Chain A
């Protein structure tokens, strides 16, 4: 592993060497203001009550922790539980963070939000929250993603959001973030950037994680109630890494709980064929620490520091960098990361659909594929929680082509 450590005069927003705040000067004061507003909100009982009320009565929390009896039986290994984030309003965990940041935007007096989206789930969540709270909403989305997640484009427009097509670069999530940041830097006085994952400059990786930890808090309580013990394994897919960190974070101090993040292995191990940033041990090439879109973390790039294009069948995992906290958890070996291929994800989606009656999102299907691959190394006494981060309605077009 290469160790290029940038220097920092502050430790704000650092996870080991990772994280930080690498943005044009125009955004620094707005980031300080956001951090201050967030810290205030964190200890503000009325803000928290509002947030919890929306999570419960608007989004539909708590989500069930479902024992996957037929999948467990079929695989003949560990007992498997599914954390059903797919049952949330809008169909994925993204609504947790969107509600939190939407309330913050209101608190900061920003009448307009911009967001980026890959699979469209964060875009739909942002558009939903904006409509619910009376905010103007503009969502940037790569044209390649607009084509493969057309249902979500229609949903955003139905909700009154403006969907701005991004035709630069690889026309996927990374390019949508560039364009959202350009909008934000231009309209920063009236606009909040509702970033959808644990990426970007401080305070985003910490703030988004905190809004997502409700997943792990519930799961912990639920598994203790159901099994009277902690899980041995946690599985979650990792694009930027918000659903996985949301599940993992509440178990970080439990050394016997293994955490496995599944990245997109795409169609091959060569640079440009995958989006696996932390799976070099499986032969995936091109990831080194670097700075992209505000944060220092593992980034898929060439030797000159130009960011690589990525490929995944799943738009939500198709991104060249990973949240900085994951980079640190990987370095510390507190969490493990591996990659599942496009084909493995498709196969896993079909398996879950037919054994449990749940059609997962392509992103979450990667987590299932990671679990399947791990089964031979697991014991019958093991107890796994898999974060089913989203549902598959948006992916029916792709699934139907692979039936």
Chain B
């Protein structure tokens, strides 16, 4: 009931992935780290290397759901002068050459200060496909959802291991595009292993909703992606990519280090995509 009439690029991509029985790769970057020009280059490189959906993180001064890697990226992005308006302009620039599905990933306050209507209208005009506000849950988001819907933007919400079955169903009912499942209680950041109770969470979410399921928080290795095949529709990789950028640009944001970062991102996503296409993940994906 919440779906826009026209399918967003996100919905089209997940439909294609389902048809192919493929696990998708959702790639997160903090926009403006180390500059918006660099993020443009990174996004195009990642899309070219096989990322199915791109999440553009809007930097925030107080990213309380993020671990150290993305905290530092946010600091770098803010230091380079990145604003929400700047990120929307980046979306417009990406759209000149790429049709990769784009999700804006933000804390709520920058959106609220721009004004929800003004933000949604600008995001639609720039060519964004969906929005996820980390600290906004279904209880506080009635207007926000209505406005996003009116602008043909997917409202993506988080489901957590602590969410009850009943809540997962309610969250899914308020969402479109996909449901973003948090793999573990905690903040963003790469981890060595996936939590033992993740399959149970995915089964609960599957029972609660027909939406595609993307799993994030702590996913960094091809091995994680292989394990998710058949259980989820996509894996979200964030901190592992942001760390590549931090490594390559440690000594400064020169053109050569931006190119090096883009090359590292390409390799990383290719490896993840290979894992997604191989072995376990080719198994049937769900109803």
Residues of A within 8 A of B (CB): 4, 6-10, 12, 20-30, 168-169, 174-175, 177-178, 181-182, 185-189, 288, 290-294, 299, 301, 303-307
| Residues from chain A with Cβ under 8 Å of B71 in the complex | 168
Q: Tell me if A8 and B113 are in contact (CB < 8 A).
A: no
| Residues from chain A with Cβ under 8 Å of B187 in the complex | 182, 185-186
B125-151 vs A, Cβ < 8 Å mask (1 yes, 0 no): 000000000111111111110000000
Q: Tell me if A20 and B163 are in contact (CB < 8 A).
A: no
Beyond A182-B64, A186-B186, A187-B185, list 18 extra A-B contacts (CB 8 Å).
A4-B113, A4-B115, A6-B140, A24-B135, A26-B185, A29-B163, A168-B71, A175-B62, A177-B64, A185-B65, A290-B113, A291-B107, A293-B62, A301-B109, A305-B84, A305-B109, A305-B111, A306-B60
**Residue B274 at the chain A interface, CB threshold 8 Å:** no
**Residue B182 at the chain A interface, CB threshold 8 Å:** yes
Q: Provided the pairs A6-B112, A306-B110 are in contact, do residues A182 and B84 lie with their beta carbons within 8 angstroms? A: no
Q: Tell me if B64 and A178 are in contact (CB < 8 A).
A: yes
| Residues from chain B with Cβ under 8 Å of A294 in the complex | 135
**Which residue of chain B lies nearest to A4 when distances are taken between CB atoms in the complex?**
B112
Q: Tell me if B142 and A7 are in contact (CB < 8 A).
A: yes
A10, A28, A168, A288: the one within 8 Å of B167 (CB): A28
Which one of B21-29, B154-162, B226-234 contacts A? B154-162
**Residue B247 at the chain A interface, CB threshold 8 Å:** no
Q: Provided the pairs A304-B113, A305-B110 are in contact, do residues A22 and B140 lie with their beta carbons within 8 angstroms? A: yes
Determine the distance from Cα of A291 to Cα of B113 in the docked complex, in whole angstroms. 9
The 10 A-B pairs with the shortest beta carbon distances in the complex, nearest first, are: A7-B143, A305-B113, A305-B110, A26-B160, A186-B186, A25-B158, A305-B109, A306-B61, A25-B160, A304-B83
| Residues from chain A with Cβ under 8 Å of B61 in the complex | 169, 306-307
| Residues from chain B with Cβ under 8 Å of A288 in the complex | 113
Determine the distance from Cα of A214 to Cα of B78 in the docked complex, in whole angstroms. 43
A-B contact pairs, 26 of them (CB 8 A): A6-B140, A21-B137, A24-B65, A25-B159, A25-B162, A25-B171, A26-B163, A26-B182, A29-B160, A175-B62, A181-B64, A182-B67, A182-B187, A185-B187, A186-B185, A288-B113, A291-B107, A292-B62, A304-B84, A304-B110, A305-B84, A305-B112, A305-B113, A305-B114, A306-B78, A307-B109
Determine the distance from Cα of A189 to Cα of B142 in the docked complex, in whole angstroms. 29
Determine the distance from Cα of A169 to Cα of B164 in the docked complex, in whole angstroms. 34
**Which residue of chain B lies nearest to A178 when distances are taken between CB atoms in the complex?**
B64
A25, A175, A303, A307: the one within 8 Å of B163 (CB): A25
Residues of B within 8 A of A (CB): 60-65, 67, 71, 78, 83-85, 107-115, 134-144, 157-164, 167, 171, 182, 185-187
Q: How far is the CB of A322 from chain B (nearest CB, A)?
A: 15
Q: How far is the CB of B139 from chain A (nearest CB, A)?
A: 5
Q: Tell me if A8 and B64 are in contact (CB < 8 A).
A: no
Question: Taking chain A's interface residues, is the majority helix, strand, or loop, or is none over half, making it mixed?
Answer: mixed
B112, B158, B161: residue with the most chain A Cβ atoms closer than 10 Å: B112
A6, A26, A27, A185: residue with the most chain B Cβ atoms closer than 10 Å: A26
Q: Tell me if B113 and A303 are in contact (CB < 8 A).
A: yes
Determine the distance from Cα of A20 to Cα of B144 in the docked complex, in whole angstroms. 15
B85, B135, B167: the one within 8 Å of A23 (CB): B135
Q: Tell me if B62 and A307 are in contact (CB < 8 A).
A: yes
Determine the distance from Cα of A188 to Cα of B141 in the docked complex, in whole angstroms. 24
B109, B110, B135, B142: the one within 8 Å of A9 (CB): B142
Determine the distance from Cα of A363 to Cα of B152 in the docked complex, in whole angstroms. 50
Q: Tell me if A185 and B186 are in contact (CB < 8 A).
A: yes
Q: Provided the pairs A21-B140, A23-B137, A291-B109 are in contact, do residues A169 and B62 lie with their beta carbons within 8 angstroms? A: yes
B78, B83, B140: the one within 8 Å of A8 (CB): B140
B62, B65, B137, B138: the one within 8 Å of A174 (CB): B62
Determine the distance from Cα of A294 to Cα of B138 in the docked complex, in whole angstroms. 14
Determine the distance from Cα of A177 to Cα of B64 in the docked complex, in whole angstroms. 9
Determine the distance from Cα of A21 to Cα of B78 in the docked complex, in whole angstroms. 26
Determine the distance from Cα of A303 to Cα of B65 in the docked complex, in whole angstroms. 22
**Which residue of chain A lies nearest to B181 when distances are taken between CB atoms in the complex?**
A25
| Residues from chain B with Cβ under 8 Å of A24 in the complex | 64-65, 134-135, 158, 160, 182
Determine the distance from Cα of A349 to Cα of B181 in the docked complex, in whole angstroms. 52
B134, B138, B158, B167: the one within 8 Å of A29 (CB): B167
**Which residue of chain A lies nearest to B86 when distances are taken between CB atoms in the complex?**
A304
